[in-house]
Amino acid sequence: MIHEGIGDFNAIAKIAKTGIEIALEAGFEVSCVAKRLDEGLAERVEWLPLHVPARLYAYKWLTARHYMKSAMRGRSFDVIHSHQPQAASFSDVFDCHYLTQLGRKQTLADPRPGIRGVVERTQERIVLAAENYVYRNWNPATHIFFDSRMTRRDFIALYGEPPKNDALPSPFPRINLATADDRRIAKKSYFGDDDGLPVVGFIGGATPRKGSRRLAAAAEREPGLKFLVGGSGSENLTAPGAGARFKTIGLVRELDRFYAACDVLLIPSLYEPLGLVAFEAAARGTPVIATPEVGALPHVLEHGGGSEWTPDEPLLPIVQLLISRANEMPRAVASMERSLGRQAYGRRLVQAYETVLKEKADARVSPLGIAGGV
């Protein structure tokens, strides 16, 4: 398994961790090429430490393949599963979580000012060229999983359809529905006494691509709503017309409490390949409202876990409708868990590994060990 971080460090690192746990449960021996590894996995896997340069995103991207190969020390594995495009060409299974070409469109549409903006755009241009090269020279033997149907559609539109591909969204988290008491206590911890206004949650931080400007604009024109705003850099966001209704809390460390405090979670992203927070909120029983540019939205709508929103329409009526249907959320969440949960995800992942092993056996490529390895 190859990814810079494997553990509860970020969304992709969590997915890689889940994949390793599933592989171990299926009887595979697992080696991890990673800079950071979850402590709980350290004694259960072989850790091949990955060097990652300290600075400059473009330099990290361009050197990643070299350092991944160095960490593997020339060894062969029955199945190589990676979560970074730099390793896609020598991987048997690759998870595509992001398309720089679409992310760059948003950067150009809303550029950061000053020298930092120039450096950011230059690095993104370099990374885009490198990523385009990888995807335009695709290894037809690699099985590619897209994190949403939207990402699959966008990839095919940009690069053509790979021979072996499918959409495999990140596994739906363990269901942990918030009780009425959980919600009352959580709201009070953030806002004090309840004034009756519905709470709209946002956890995208200050990243423009996550829709922070859309959020602020909605807050200023929706006096019937309060906004609980979390994520890295969110403490610097403002919505002057909203006043105390717009509460920023910075990095969210207690996700259960945050989701319990929200009557709905808003994901107003300009480009979001999946949006794992949609699944996290739903698992807590909090309905999701998302823009069409969010990959998780079709999955949420399919199971009745939320609603679509466009920035030019009023938000309050959608919030009120979802609150009125709160008694339907447990059924929607159970449906999402059956279709998208860890068990369903694990079946498809192990099936992909078994397919790789069969293909190699059919091609008379002998496994190197008694037990399979990932």
Same domain for 292 and 186: yes
By the 8 A CB rule, do 170 and 147 touch?
Answer: yes
Check: pTM over 0.85? Answer yes or no. yes
Same domain for 216 and 354: no
Same domain for 351 and 318: no
Q: Report yes or no on 271 lying in a domain.
A: yes
In tens, the pLDDT along 233-288 reads: 999 999 999 999 999 999 999 999 999 999 999 999 999 999 999 999 999 999 99
- Number of neighbouring beta carbons within 10 Å of residue 145: 23
- Number of neighbouring beta carbons within 10 Å of residue 126: 16
Contacts of 15 (CB under 8 A, 6+ apart): 83, 95, 97, 170, 171, 276
Beta-sheet strand order (sheet of 165-167)? 81-82, 93-96, 143-146, 165-167
Q: Residue 274's closest CA among 157, 343, 172? A: 172
Beta bridge partners of 373: 29
Angle 84-90-91 (CA atoms, 0-180°, nearest 5)? 60
Residue-wise pLDDT tens for the chain (374 aa)? 999 999 999 999 999 999 999 999 999 999 999 999 999 999 999 999 999 999 899 999 999 999 999 999 999 999 999 999 999 999 999 999 999 999 877 765 566 678 888 888 889 899 999 999 999 999 999 999 999 999 999 999 999 999 999 999 999 999 999 999 999 999 999 999 889 999 999 999 998 899 999 999 999 999 999 999 999 999 999 999 999 999 999 999 999 999 999 999 999 999 999 999 999 999 999 999 999 999 999 999 999 999 999 999 999 999 999 999 999 999 999 999 999 999 999 999 999 999 999 999 998 644 444 445 67
Q: What total of structural domains would you count in the chain?
A: 2
- The domain in which residue 49 lies consists of 5-171+341-362
DSSP category for residue 215: H
Same domain for 28 and 167: yes
DSSP letter string, 82-150 = ESSGGGGGG-SEEEE---HHHHHHHHHHSPPPHHHHHHHHHHHHHHHHHHHHHHHT--TT-EEEESSHH
Q: Residue 243's closest CA among 257, 256, 226? A: 226
Same domain for 335 and 232: yes
